[in-house]
A and B are shown apart, each in its own frame.
Chain A
Amino acid sequence: MMATQDAVVTGRWRTDKKSSISGSLLVALVILAGLVLMGVVGAVAPPHNPFATNPALQLQPPSQEYWFGTDNFGRDVLSRIMAGAGTDLVIASLVTGISFSVGVVVGALSAYRGGWLDDVTLRVVDIVLSFPSFVLALAITAVLGNSLRNVVIAIAVAYTPYFIRLTRAEVLSARRADYADNARAVGNPAWRVVIFHLLPNSLNPALVAASLTMGWSILDASGLSFLGLGIKPPAAEWGVEVSEGASNIVTGEWWTSVFPGLTITLAVIAFNLLGDSLRDRLGSRR
């Protein structure tokens, strides 16, 4: 009898351990580490100058010297992708940082306070969510003009409502929990209850969303730049690089846009997988 029970327990242990180091998480972390490394190398010691044009080296196919070939202006595609890693990862981090912190704070306050604050917040969230996020970001950058700052603002505006919604829903249900009542009963002021008691217990969905937002904002930022409405050339940004190589696709010089696009895909895959594993580990529903 005891023996069988032990077997069951160890069996449980094993499955738990197995699921905690999932393959997709590993893939995600490896890709992300690679991208960050690329960004750092690109900033410190790129193989070639990402901005130096050289008419003699126009559209060279991939070779030992230029791994990913050269573009229309004879610039090294690999060095430009490395420099672009800096731009795109910074945009993604800024967008996610802004929408996460604003969304979590506003969401928590609006859930805890309720009343008119909650009403106004919900209306604003509804208005922003009535546009597909990329279309909204497009319209905002078209209005504000294209610069890194405006791209960040545009995408952050489009994603903040998701964080508000997620956090608001979590805090609403946590507000009635026993530990929140206890915290209030021993005399904590409202802000302490929200910040130290409710928020730490309500962050999981927002953390999952943050990881996914990193990926989406890279997609959006590069999409805007591809359309000529985001980061302006000759800046090194992945979407700009795909766009600069777009006309070469028809004539067969595929490497100028295939490699930057592949980098975007890898980055987004990594953040999507990271988000999925976070969701599994933190056990949140959405």
Chain B
Amino acid sequence: MVLVFLLTHYLPGNPALVKAGQYGDPKAVAAIEHEMGLDKPLPVQFATYVTNLVHLDLGTSYNTGQSVVTDLRSRIPATFELALWSSLIAVLVAIPLGILTGLKAGSTLDFVARTFAVLGTSLPLFWLGLLVVYIFYAKLQIAPAPDGRLSSFTSPPTSITGLYVIDSLLTGNFPTLLDAVGHLAMPAMTLALVEIAPILKVVRSATIEVMRTDYVRTARAIGLSEWQIVRQDLLRNVGVQLFTMVGIVLGYLLSGSVLVERIFNWPGIGLYAWNAMLSNDLAAIQGFVLLVAAIYICLNLAIDVLYAFVDPRIRYA
């Protein structure tokens, strides 16, 4: 919190100057500075900042003229929808593939999957996004233009959860559903490709480890089929390992949100932060960084706590 505050207060631009306009006279600038409290000493500004923060007031964005909290709240569903579907795709691909390659370690399939995993951790996300746009929009022309969540002529569904795909499904609005899924496909695929790599790696090595244990040998010895072993012993133990991945994948998602939302013009918190950063929108940058840190810390804490529930061998002193 302190870091965020100090960081944004060393911004080279003067926000009051931005507000008064390029040719605003010095008196007007001073008046705005006074109104915004920018002429007070830094510790006083910090005290005001903390007080406001406690009241969930992150200040006003110079870009939109609205409170940052309102801005962020209206943009979170877009980012969340993207994160949700991309993670779902990633998990559905990575877990079966990881188990399969783990069971058949050393095979051609295993080699292909491992190459893919190295690629996934080495590809620049922004470039991958552009490739996806080139292939599916420019060449094959099966995806809609990389421009937001819906086509301009489609109206958003009645808001229930804020997630367009689920909302349009719940209200039975099928034209909107199709449009939303179409727009979601490319950015979700881009993020998913990057998420698959770390999950695949962990599932594969966990599978190899579990299949070598004594209890799997015992299970084999008493005549259980491979499928029974996979279902009873493997899945449960790999599941625990997967838990550790949530934090890493979340970091990817939060970092990736800015890049992917910029490419696909996706109106989430990443695009909001990007616009704010390009125009020295102090309060909005602070709001974004605080929100990301809050999500990151809370979820990592939640994982640590849940970890002990999932795996009874782990105890915290």
Say whether A250 faces chain B, with CB atoms less than 8 Å apart.
yes
Contact with B255, one of A132, A258, A261 (Cβ below 8 angstroms): A132
Evaluate whether A215 and B130 lie within 8 angstroms (CB atoms) in the complex, with A144-B10, A227-B259 already known: no
Secondary structure of the A contact surface, majority rule: helix
Q: How far is the CB of B105 from chain A (nearest CB, A)?
A: 16
Is A219 interfacial (CB-CB < 8 Å)? yes
Give, as a whole number of angstroms, the nearest-CB distance from B259 to chain A: 6
Task: Return chain A residues, CB-CB under 8 Å to B124.
Answer: 219, 222-223, 226, 239, 242, 261, 264-265, 268
* Most interface-central of B118, B146, B252, B263 (chain A CB within 10 A): B118
Interface pick from B75-83, B159-167, B289-297:
B289-297
User: Please, how many angstroms separate the alpha-carbon atoms of A249 and B186 in the complex?
Assistant: 14
Q: How far is the CB of B204 from chain A (nearest CB, A)?
A: 14
Q: Is B254 an interface residue (CB 8 A)?
A: yes
A32 in contact (CB, < 8 A): no
Q: Does A131 contact B (CB under 8 A)?
A: yes
B123 within 8 A of A: yes
A207 at the interface (CB under 8 A from B): no
Q: Collect the chain B residues with CB atoms within 8 Å of residue A252's CB.
A: 138-139
Interface size class of B (residues with CB under 8 A): 35 or more
Interface string of A138-163 (1 = CB under 8 A from B): 11101111000000000000000000
In Å, the complex CA distance between A251 and B252 comes to 29
Does the CB pair A242–B296 fall under 8 Å?
A: no
B71 CB to closest chain A CB, in angstroms? Answer: 17
Asked whether any CB of chain B lies closer than 8 Å to the CB of A246, the reply is: yes
Bound CA–CA A215/B4 (angstroms): 27
- Report the separation of the CA atoms of residues A226 and B124 in the bound assembly, to the nearest whole angstrom: 10
Q: Is the C-beta of B277 less than 8 angstroms from some C-beta in chain A?
A: yes
Q: How many residues of A contact B (CB 8 A)?
A: 41
* In the assembled complex, A93 has its CB within 8 A of some CB on chain B: no
A140 to chain B, nearest CB (A): 7
Per-residue CB contact flags for chain B residues 256-292 toward chain A (1 = under 8 Å, else 0) read 0011001100000000011001100000010001001
B125 touches A223 (CB 8 A): yes
Identify A130's interface contact among B118, B130, B252, B297, CB under 8 A.
Answer: B297
Contact of B127 among A227, A257, A272 (CB under 8 A): A257
Q: A127-B3, A250-B133 are in contact. Are A227 and B262 (CB under 8 A)?
A: yes
- Cα of A164 to Cα of B39 in the assembled complex, Å: 39
Return 21 A-B CB contacts under 8 Å, by A number. A132-B255, A138-B273, A139-B4, A139-B285, A142-B277, A145-B12, A222-B126, A223-B126, A226-B259, A227-B126, A229-B277, A246-B130, A250-B133, A250-B137, A251-B138, A261-B127, A261-B130, A265-B127, A268-B124, A269-B118, A269-B122
